[in-house]
Structure 1
């Protein structure tokens, strides 16, 4: 993203992560939620009834942003920091990894 000159912000080092089976770049010091939002899809999971959920409180209280990280369902995206090689998947229902596009 482009930022205005003189904003004073710098991103951390770029790292490679996988989001829903697709390789992407994330940045150290940013949360999994930010990595998902940067890809343009604000959803993190669907409920058992199929309703979309995403980032709500942003501080780990509401549990709306649950995702599957490195095979562990129910991980809060807003308070989990990205790291190199992380495998992130949006979650369907109570902990099932969402099928990759085309898969």
Structure 2
């Protein structure tokens, strides 16, 4: 499910395959690719749930302008996963409102 060749951006060199966690589950992705790309390649499309209605959101603009792809990354909420590079050992959590599930208001 990864884009191998983009009509505008061309191709890119994949980084090393690394492990990270999503809501406690071990996953893999390529170091340096956006977190959202690694999640999409694994079939994960929901990144957060809205505070007021609990509706699921995922990648929308994919350029860091909107906030639909924000997640809690290494304990920090509101990280735009479409522009944040993946690193080995990252702890990624689905965001509920303004934080992870246990902190949701």
TM over 0.5: yes
Asked whether the equivalents of residues 20 and 89 of structure 1 are also in contact (C-alpha less than 8 Å), the reply is yes
Structure 1 unmatched runs, 5+ = none
Alignment of 1:11-30 (within 5 A): 11-30=14-33
TM-score, normalised to structure 2's length? Answer: 0.80
**Runs of 4+ with >3 A deviation:** 1-4
What's the C-alpha RMSD, in Å, of the aligned pairs? 2.3
Structure 2 unmatched runs, 5+ = 5-10
Residue aligned with 2:39, SS: helix
Normalized per residue, the structure richer in strand is 1
Alignment size in residue pairs? 96
**1:82 counterpart = 2:81:** no
